[in-house]
């Protein structure tokens, strides 16, 4: 099990790297994270919703992702509540108190069953912890760290991020706050994200081992994981100049949709309406609370600015919740997202949205059946992605540009404005299709690039595994697992 001294120290990436190393050695290996809190989710072939980090780890292991790899997913909402997803299906919104009192026991059973299922199917399971195991106020309700290590009887490696500073204190302090049995379970430390002079670090490593009696398993150099989904943090790719702007919504979700796009063009993440001046494309991304973000857009002055730019011919793209905002109205008659029964949209597309309690979660193949001027040359192509939404969109007086293939079912999706410069769709992962990137580059007047994001992800995983082989005591890790 890989645990950390804090969030964002690199647990997800190190877990993915170990999955790739063992897979390359011929082992049947699977990732596991008992409970993940993330707004970046993925949909499996069976329609289960899991965190994207576990999808990446499954890819590193060379296997298909399943809900057993992330049996509990928490998606933060407003007013201190989270949507709780068990084994890929939503069971409702709960406050922290309600979750601990009403769901904790059920979640623990699901975690045990999932871990047992993976243990029966695979030779090795690499478990990722969450946050820090030293949160003494949450120890009673632990579902992520030492509780899971105990259930799995797993040796633990503790990771610290030296790039942010205080790594030695974090390791020593974390160890000090654990119980005696928990300290016994920790079999070594990994220092992550190092970019200094290793000779200057040696004395610190000696001190660390002497002070704690724990082995330093290795020091990993800073790895620029541009093509890997690293935990639930929006990378700072933003620039003051750029032809493409993404509105940074308060409840922004699935921002990994734009990782491929950020590699080929200057992308602005904007929080003020005036920052939209001078751009050629405005993107309204997905959101965990469409209605509240739509109100925020109006209150901040974005709505007026977006309509102004649309009138000037600037292209507008809406994805999932952003697509629904571009319509005429959104109805929430069942109070799924708010107590507002109806809210006016931006009225830039002829669609109306109705929220339903049952979410649609599905992988899809999407055939482009109509010209989309924002993406010239895509008609007739088949795109791949997934959809996660509670809203049902009614398209008025036109043919949808996309035809979703959900298994055997064909479902129209998306809408294009009369002038063709405004387009919306529920398709997450749109820019992970190389032909979409090339089409957008053509729209921007640039030469289409030979750019395959999925291939770059695979290359990055292999490079990550090689870096870990070179800088970790792999033999020691194998000895902990009892394998050669």
- Residues marked active site are found at 320, 428
Sorted by sequence, the CB contacts under 8 Å of residue 417 that are 6+ apart come out as 348, 349, 423
Q: Which helix (H) or strand (E) holds 20?
A: helix 11-24
Sorted by sequence, the CB contacts under 8 Å of residue 448 that are 6+ apart come out as 437, 438, 439, 441, 442
Q: Are 382 and 367 in contact (CB under 8 A)?
A: yes
Terminal C-alpha separation, the chain = 18
Q: Strand (E) positions, 239-381?
A: 244-247, 267-270, 281-284, 315-319, 329-331, 342-344, 351-368
Strands 342-344 and 329-331: antiparallel
The backbone torsions φ and ψ at residue 16, rounded to the nearest 5 degrees and listed phi first, read -60, -40
Q: Are 222 and 195 in contact (CB under 8 A)?
A: yes
DSSP 8-state symbol, 112? H
Q: In what order do the strands lie in the sheet with 2-4?
A: 2-4, 156-161, 186-194, 216-221
């Amino acid at each position: 099990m890989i645990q950390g001294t804090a969030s964002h120290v690199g647990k997800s990436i190190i877990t993915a790297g170990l999955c790739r190393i063992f897979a390359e050695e011929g082992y049947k290996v699977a990732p596991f994270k008992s409970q993940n809190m993330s707004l970046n989710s993925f949909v499996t072939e069976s329609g289960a919703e899991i965190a994207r980090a576990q999808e990446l780890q499954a890819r590193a292991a060379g296997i298909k992702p399943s809900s057993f790899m992330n049996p509990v997913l928490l998606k933060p909402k407003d007013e201190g509540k989270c949507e709780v997803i068990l084994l890929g299906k939503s069971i409702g919104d709960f406050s922290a108190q309600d979750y601990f009192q009403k769901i904790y026991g059920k979640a623990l059973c699901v975690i045990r069953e999932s871990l047992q299922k993976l243990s029966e199917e695979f030779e090795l399971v690499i478990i990722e912890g969450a946050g820090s195991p030293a949160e003494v106020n949450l120890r009673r309700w632990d579902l992520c760290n030492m509780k899971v290590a105990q259930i799995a009887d797993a040796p633990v490696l503790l990771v610290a991020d030296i790039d942010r500073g205080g790594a030695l204190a974090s390791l020593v302090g974390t160890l000090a706050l654990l119980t005696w049995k928990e300290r016994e379970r920790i079999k070594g430390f990994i220092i992550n994200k190092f970019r200094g002079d290793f000779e200057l670090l040696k004395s610190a490593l000696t001190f660390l081992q002497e002070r704690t009696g724990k082995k330093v398993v290795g020091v990993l150099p800073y790895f620029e994981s541009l093509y890997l989904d690293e935990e639930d943090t929006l990378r700072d790719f933003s620039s003051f100049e750029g032809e493409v702007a993404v509105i940074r919504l308060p409840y922004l979700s699935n921002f990994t949709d734009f990782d491929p796009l950020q590699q080929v063009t200057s992308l602005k993440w904007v929080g003020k309406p005036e920052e939209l001046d001078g751009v050629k494309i405005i993107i309204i991304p997905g959101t965990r609370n469409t209605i509240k973000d739509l109100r925020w857009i109006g209150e901040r002055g974005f709505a007026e600015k977006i309509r102004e730019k649309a009138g000037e011919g600037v292209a507008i793209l809406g994805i999932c919740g952003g697509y629904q905002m571009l319509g005429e109205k959104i109805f929430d008659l069942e109070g799924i997202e708010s107590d507002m029964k109806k809210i006016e949209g931006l009225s830039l597309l002829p669609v109306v949205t109705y929220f339903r309690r049952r979410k649609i979660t599905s992988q899809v193949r999407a055939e482009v059946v109509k010209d989309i001027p924002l993406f010239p040359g895509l008609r007739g192509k088949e795109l791949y992605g997934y959809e996660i939404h509670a809203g049902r969109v009614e398209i008025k007086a036109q043919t949808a540009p996309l035809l979703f293939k959900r298994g055997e079912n064909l479902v129209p999706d998306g809408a294009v404005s009369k002038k063709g410069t405004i387009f919306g769709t529920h398709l997450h992962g749109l820019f992970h299709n190389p032909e979409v990137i090339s089409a957008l580059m053509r729209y921007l007047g640039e030469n289409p690039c030979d750019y395959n994001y999925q291939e770059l992800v695979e290359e990055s995983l292999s490079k990550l595994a090689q870096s870990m082989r070179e800088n970790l005591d792999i033999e020691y890790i194998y000895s902990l697992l009892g394998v050669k």
